[in-house]
Copies of this chain bind each other. A is one copy, B any other.
């Protein structure tokens, strides 16, 4: 029987403190903000930091220039700052090229981004792959731009450098790997995705304390180009991945959501649905979509990895999404803790789920002589434990895993896993190479 993923002390407070510390940093898909973020995470978790140089070809893409920004503002002619990066790093268009000149009101307006539906929030916008300059402002503020000319200033650099990501690995009993992935490229946005960073950090510390069956790999990387870069750097190794979870938007008060992998019925998909059902609160399991977080790269047809995505309220489904409204107010400790608990439960199932072969497949073995069955016969068996023994014996034919058995029998997975442990000790079961195992069969 496998280790259960342990709890970590003070998890709620530590997640909240990490998020508060990371919140002010101006992150993007490259640059010092990512490095600073990974460095803070590294205090809790010894990350291995990878730098991939600008210009490196990664499948259909190229690692872009590194972007850093020191300051940015828009001033009225009379010198008054009306937009100021130092008040919110969302004000500057991500990857804005440097500029410093007087522009007409019309030219400025053409470079201002706002969200009419949410007029008080600054939107998060970027222009990663087309050089452009720009600012993001609350829609309400647009009417204030009534001067004929403005001075615009973006003190940014776009230059050769590298894309940065961090990895933390826990070597398990088998090389089969479970991937936990979270993106680190968003500036001052909390739920998307400082929440994911915080939950992944706690989880990594928990796994590091266990002696897991599977190997685990935690990756903190920029979204999209980071995932593409990581896959390009690790192409030969990703077949080891037997399950994966992308963590995103896991700190708000919405109910949990799990988006299935492209395969739709991968073991991680079934474990996630099973775990969510067991928790007994409202949840949704969403069909795969090629849109959303980085599972879209892992689930591209050339990889088709069994990677799903765990969220609370999904991207785009809460009004503050990708605006300054996604701040410390919309996340809370209990939601973070609940997300952590659910993911621990999913991983606990994946860790314990195994294929066995009944070593006495013809008729039932005599459990009584092994001391694991009641001595006085004639009574109806109703306890989970004896029924669990019978179910595990009956279905352990190398085609049914413990999760299969739990689902078919209706007996809780924990009882099934416990029964398998008892039978394994008796020598009535042997583990078998998981013929139906994902990640190897393809």
Contact = CB atoms under 8 A, between A and B. Distances in A.
Nearest to A375: B130
Interface string A403-432: 000000100000000000000000000000
Interface stretch (A171-179, A269-277, A294-302): A294-302
A9 interface: no
Interface stretch (A65-73, A206-214, A250-258, A354-362): A354-362
B296 A364 contact: yes
A369 B125 contact: no
Nearest to A60: B365
Contact of A366 (B60, B132, B387, B394): B60
A301 B380 contact: no
User: Contact size class for A?
Assistant: 35 or more
Given A321-B380, A390-B291, A301 B395 contact: yes
Q: Quick one: copies of this chain in the complex?
A: 3
Contact of A368 (B129, B289, B291): B129
Given A125-B377, A291-B387, A300 B369 contact: no
Given A59-B363, A126-B377, A291-B390, 8 more contacts: A124-B378, A125-B379, A290-B393, A290-B394, A301-B361, A302-B363, A304-B397, A322-B378
20 contacts: A59-B363, A60-B365, A61-B363, A125-B379, A127-B376, A227-B363, A228-B363, A262-B394, A296-B394, A297-B363, A299-B394, A300-B362, A301-B358, A301-B361, A301-B395, A302-B358, A302-B362, A316-B380, A321-B380, A322-B378
